[in-house]
Structure 1
């Protein structure tokens, strides 16, 4: 099996459920607590591509206060949206599982099983 990673926030119930699901299925993913170990622009751009998203906005948590405070709803520049996620990692949707040169968001947690 290829490398298996989860971008994880232990305070998020969906993230915890997704990690537990992977472990219950016998997987031992590399856990990346992206709020403690932020990911860079290239990694975010790669995840957007692997998810098949047409815009960085699709990877963003639009309900976060930081999204509103930074007035990101009006931002049209993709590089600026990615930079906002670098600067404020809690804007990144979670959890994200990376495996087999694919990515999936664990909402619901079972959706990540398709890429394993």
Structure 2
């Protein structure tokens, strides 16, 4: 299966998502989006395909969101996209694209929605110790 993750290696959620994809036996295309941001069209498509609004796809924490005045409700989607392209740290992560869909994997286990159900053969535990998959590779609820 093809998969692409827009990844920030400094982000624990992004690292956990990448590890889950690899645990499914998939070696994804890893795009470190801070160095290689998606095009405006790619970003807009991913946001729409993930069922998000542009505002939902903006990262506020640890970014210049407030300093740039992006909390202004009068800003259009086009203006918000411009800001995200100009300052990629504003793109919330990780965005993952597979043939089964596109998701903003926050929390990381959201990526399971777009991976093959039968891909996991064993347990998976996130960096913080939270178990996501049980011994049989089934999602822990």
Do they fold alike, i.e. is TM over 0.5?
Answer: yes
* Separation in structure 2 between the aligned mates of residue 22 and residue 40 of structure 1, nearest angstrom: 24
Q: Match for residue 38 of structure 1?
A: 37
C-alpha displacement at 1:24, in angstroms?
A: 1.4
Segments of 5+ residues of structure 2 without an aligned counterpart are 116-141
Q: 1:50, 1:101 within 8 Å by CA — same for their partners in 2?
A: no
**SS class of match (1:43):** helix
* Separation in structure 2 between the aligned mates of residue 79 and residue 101 of structure 1, nearest angstrom: 27
Q: Match for residue 61 of structure 1?
A: 59
Q: TM-score scaled by structure 1?
A: 0.92
Residues 27-77 of structure 1 show CA distances to partners (whole Å, capped at 9, x for unaligned) of 110000000111111011101110112x21110012234101110010421
- Greater share of residues in helix: 1
Give the 5 Å matches for 1:5-24.
Answer: 5-24=4-23
* Consecutive aligned runs of 4 or more in structure 1 exceeding 3 Å deviation: none
C-alpha displacement at 1:109, in angstroms?
A: 1.3
Number of corresponding residues: 114
Q: TM-score scaled by structure 2?
A: 0.76
More RCO (CA 8 Å, sep 6+): 1
Residues 3-35 of structure 1 show CA distances to partners (whole Å, capped at 9, x for unaligned) of 210000000011011101111121110000000
* Separation in structure 2 between the aligned mates of residue 110 and residue 65 of structure 1, nearest angstrom: 24
* Separation in structure 2 between the aligned mates of residue 42 and residue 30 of structure 1, nearest angstrom: 19
- After TM superposition, the structure 1 stretch with the greater mean CA deviation from structure 2, 64-73 or 83-92, is 64-73
* Separation in structure 1 between the aligned mates of residue 20 and residue 63 of structure 2, nearest angstrom: 29
